[in-house]
Amino acid sequence: MSTLMSAEIVNVFVLAAVLEADLGSHRKIGTFRLLRPILVAAAIVPLFLDKPATHGGGLAVELAGAAAGVAGGLIALVLMRVYRSTLTGKPVSAAAAGYALFWTGVIGARALFSYGAGHWFAPQLGGWLADSSIPAAAITDGLIFMAVAMILTRTLGLGIRAHSVPGRTTAMIPSREHTRA
């Protein structure tokens, strides 16, 4: 399997996991919802990363991918509403078409870049990599770091926002004083 195909597989898993978890209204923010992306990232990294660069231009490409992922995760958070449920009193989220379009656009752009790197601008990219002494794997690693950083940033931000939502923290359960006659 090509290294860019690995990035495509990561893209599909990330998009499916995010849209399934976040799209719609009154989405419960529980432990599983917050842990699932971390587990997905823990599975993705060892499967698709061989030897990340530890210095030079390769490291810069990988760090740029991670930074782009953090920025994308923060934008995704802006497109998601976190509020307290009037039924349960617990934090929930809502994400609509704009959120789905953003994630689909980012994933689509990564897929388009991966395809282009192999078919449209392979000689130019290869020349740049050689001139800059950057291993080709750094591009794939950067795309994977971008995907993982984006989903982890979104998850961390969702957890922080859920924890800091103002209002009551428990559902409206009658107290003993109200139930006694």
Kindly report the pTM of this predicted structure: 0.83
Find the mean pLDDT for residues 136-152.
Answer: 88
In the chain, what's the furthest Cα-to-Cα distance?
84
Record the tokens describing residue 25, joined without a space.
């209204």
Q: How many helices (H) does the chain have, and how many strands (E)?
A: 7, 3
Q: For residue 48, which of 150, 170, 143 has the smallest C-alpha distance?
A: 143
pLDDT band at 177 (very low <50, low <70, confident <90, very high): very low
Judged against a pLDDT cut of 60, whether residue 181 lies above it is answered with no
Give the pLDDT score at 178.
Answer: 44
Task: Tell how far CA 123 is from the center of its chain.
Answer: 30
Domain boundaries, the chain: 3-165
pLDDT digits (tens, 9 = 90+) for 87-136: 999 999 999 999 999 999 999 998 898 889 888 999 999 999 999 999 98
Cα separation, 121 vs 143, in Å, equals 17
CA distance 175 to 173: 6
Lowest-pLDDT choice from 14-23, 70-79, 124-133: 14-23
Q: What share of the chain is helix, strand, coil (3-state, %, to 5)?
A: 70, 10, 25
Query: Residues 20-54: pLDDT tens digits?
Result: 889 999 999 999 999 888 887 788 778 777 777 78
